[in-house]
Structure 1
Amino acid sequence: MSLWKRMTLIFRSKANRALDRAEDPRETLDYSYQRQTELLQKVRRGVADVATSRKRVEIQIKQLESQSDKLTQQAQKAIDMDREDLAREALTRKSGLTSQISDLQTQHASLQGEEEKLVLAQQRLQAKVEAFRTRKETIKATYTAAEAQTKINDAVTGIGDEMGDVGQAIQRAEDKTAAMQARAGAVDELIASGALDDVTSLNRGDDISRELESMSSQSDVEAELARMKQSHQIEAGGSGGDAIVESERQKTVEDGDKP
Structure 2
Amino acid sequence: MGIFSRLKTLISSNVNDAINKAEKPEKMLNQLLIDMNQQLIESKKAVAMAIADEKKLEREALNQQTQSQEWERKAMLAVQAGKDDLAKEALLRKQEHDNNFVEYQKQWETQKASVDRLKESLRDLQNKIEEAQRKKNLLVARAKRAEAQQKIQSTISTMSGNKTAFEAFDRMAEKVDQMEAQAEAARELDDLTAGSNLEKRFAELEKSDTSADLMLLELKEKMKSLPDKSE
Normalising by structure 2, we get a TM-score of 0.63
Q: In 2, Cα distance between the equivalents of 1:121 and 1:175?
A: 79
Matched, 1:229 2:216: no
Map of 1:204 onto structure 2 = none
Are 1:136 and 2:132 counterparts? no
Q: Distance in 2 between matches of 1:219 and 1:66?
A: 156
CA drift of 1:48 comes to 1.4
How far the C-alpha of 1:32 sits from its partner, in A, is 2.1
Q: Which has the larger radius of gyration?
A: 1
Q: CA deviation at 1:92?
A: 1.5
Partner residue, 2:126: 126
**CA RMSD, 1 decimal:** 4.3
- Show the counterpart of 2:28: 28
The residue number in structure 2 matching 1:69 is 69
Q: How does 1:64-103 map onto structure 2 within 5 Å?
A: 64-103=64-103
2:178 — aligned with what? Answer: 175
| Count, aligned residues | 192
Aligned to 2:113: 113
Deviations 1:105-144 (A, max 9, x none): 1110110111111122222223332333333222112234
Q: In 2 relative to 1, CA 92–224 (structure 1 residues): closer, same or farther, beyond 3 Å?
A: same
**Unmatched 5+ stretches in structure 1:** 1-17, 157-161, 195-216, 243-259
In 1, Cα distance between the equivalents of 2:64 and 2:141? 60
Q: Could you tell me which runs of 5 or more consecutive residues in structure 2 were left unpaired when the two chains were aligned.
A: 1-19, 157-164, 198-208
* Alpha-carbon distance, 1:100 to partner: 1.3
**Contact 1:68–1:98 (Cα < 8 Å) also in 2:** yes
Query: How many percent identity over aligned positions?
Result: 21
In the alignment, the residues of structure 2 paired with residue 84 and residue 127 of structure 1 have an alpha-carbon distance, to the nearest angstrom, of: 63
CA deviation vs aligned residue, 1:172-222 (integer Å, no higher than 9, x gap): 34522532552565478679879xxxxxxxxxxxxxxxxxxxxxx998775
1:78 to partner: Cα distance: 1.1
Q: 1:149-180 deviations in whole A, cap 9, x for unaligned? A: 77799999xxxxx9x98896576345225325
Match of 1:239 in 2: 228
- State the match for 1:37 in structure 2: 37
Compared with structure 1, are the counterparts of its residues 219 and 27 closer, same or farther at alpha carbon in structure 2 (3 Å cutoff)? closer
Structure 1: distance between partners of 2:58 and 2:190: 118
Helix, strand or coil: the match of 2:62?
Answer: helix
Q: What amino acid sits opposite 1:31 in the alignment?
A: Q
- Whether the 8 Å contact between 1:40 and 1:126 is mirrored in structure 2 is yes
